[in-house]
Structure 1
Amino acid sequence: MTPALTDTPAVDRVDAVATAPDVFHAMASFQQAAAAHLDTRLAELVRVRVSQVNGCAYCVDLHARAAREAGETERRLYALPTWRESALFTRAERAALALCEALTLLPKAGVPDAVYAEAAAWFDDTALTHLLWTAAATNVWNRMAVATGMGRRTASS
């Protein structure tokens, strides 16, 4: 039997923002710098998709709202989980999403060469590096939000 889902964590979790505000602010600056050379809509699509893969509902909601504010359409946001089958995404966006998913799921063999090469074909070295840093930063945020119940605390305050 699966336990019932609740809006509050089963145990009290640390408030990572209040406990380590310097790290929180450094991470926020890192995330902003990571995406500095990317189109805002692409950066938010990557953040949403990485958050979906990681199961971070708080971050999915946060970045879906930011994507809408940046001009992203509802149709593409709804199609994002099925981006491989959807004609709504450009080849460059597909390459970016594939690379960021590979980095998020990180198989034992690492990011496959074909996935990396496809992304490198669409993005110059600067944009490719920022794409990787954006995915890495989102992974850190997702792990902290899931581990600390960040979304639950914010939603209830």
Structure 2
Amino acid sequence: MSTTTRRVKLANLVPDFYQAMIALDAVSDAGIDPKLAHLVRIRTSQLNGCAYCTDMHSLDLLHVGDDQQRITLLPVWREARKFYSEQEQAALELTEAITLISVDHVPDEVYDVAANAFDDKDLAQLIALIITINAWTRIGVTGRMEPGHYKPS
């Protein structure tokens, strides 16, 4: 096993890929309520163990006017359902199924709940957002991006 801690920086070494990710991110949440989009990003980041993305999107969620309690309770949202709308709960369930896709391959029951909570266009946009944040968290974890430097704009 290697003991090196050097990690390549994709933004510097494959800038075309990195710019494509930024462009993808710019369209991945079109039409989705910003608070919902950040909840999805945070939950995905938590599941994938990306401290940088968890920090970033928590700050973004606070910046758009949500409260700390909803962020704090997000890892246990099922036990704190009263803090999340039915649509948010459906989105979080789908987020977990897609993020942990190797576990149950997005069960029909989970998909159906989300399909009933969103119209087809919004559901497609939500799925695009979940896929995009999963890619970002893999960049963050692989590159060992450190939290604490991000400032919401």
User: Do the aligned partners of 2:97 and 2:104 also contact (CA within 8 Å) in 1?
Assistant: no
Cα displacement (A) at 1:114: 0.5
Q: Residue 96 of structure 1 corresponds to which residue in structure 2?
A: 91
In 1, distance between residues paired with 2:104 and 2:73?
29
Tell me the CA shift for residue 108 of structure 1: 5.2
**What corresponds to 1:131 in structure 2?**
126
Return closer, same or farther for 1:53/1:108 CA change in 2, 3 Å cut-off: closer
Name 1:117's counterpart in structure 2: 112
Deviations 1:1-46 (A, max 9, x none): xxxxxxxx95211011111122112101101201012001100000
| Partner of residue 85 from structure 1, selected from 79, 104, 129 | 79
Q: In structure 1, what is the Cα distance between the partners aligned to 2:49 and 2:145?
A: 13
Scaled by the length of structure 1, the TM-score of the pair is 0.88
* Superposed CA offset, 1:73-100 (max 9, x none): 1111111111111110011100000001
The match for 1:3 is none
> What percentage of aligned pairs have identical amino acids?
39
* Pairing of 1:67-86 with structure 2 (within 5 A): 67-86=61-80
Cα distance, 1:149 vs. partner?
1.5
Which of these residues, 8, 11, 19, is aligned with residue 5 of structure 2?
11
Moved more, 56-65 or 23-32: 23-32
Q: CA RMSD in A?
A: 1.6
Partners of 1:32 and 1:53 lie apart in 2 by 22
Q: Does 1:66 align with 2:47?
A: no
Native 8 Å contact 1:15 1:150 kept in 2: no
Query: Which TM-score applies when normalising by structure 2?
Result: 0.90
Residue correspondence of structure 1 range 41-52 to structure 2 within 5 A: 41-52=35-46
Question: 1:140 is matched with which residue: 92, 113, 135?
Answer: 135
One-letter amino acid of the counterpart of residue 77, structure 2: W
Q: Give the 3 Å change call, closer, same or farther, for CA 109–48 of structure 1 in structure 2.
A: closer
Instruction: Count how many residue pairs are aligned between Structure 1 and Structure 2.
Output: 146
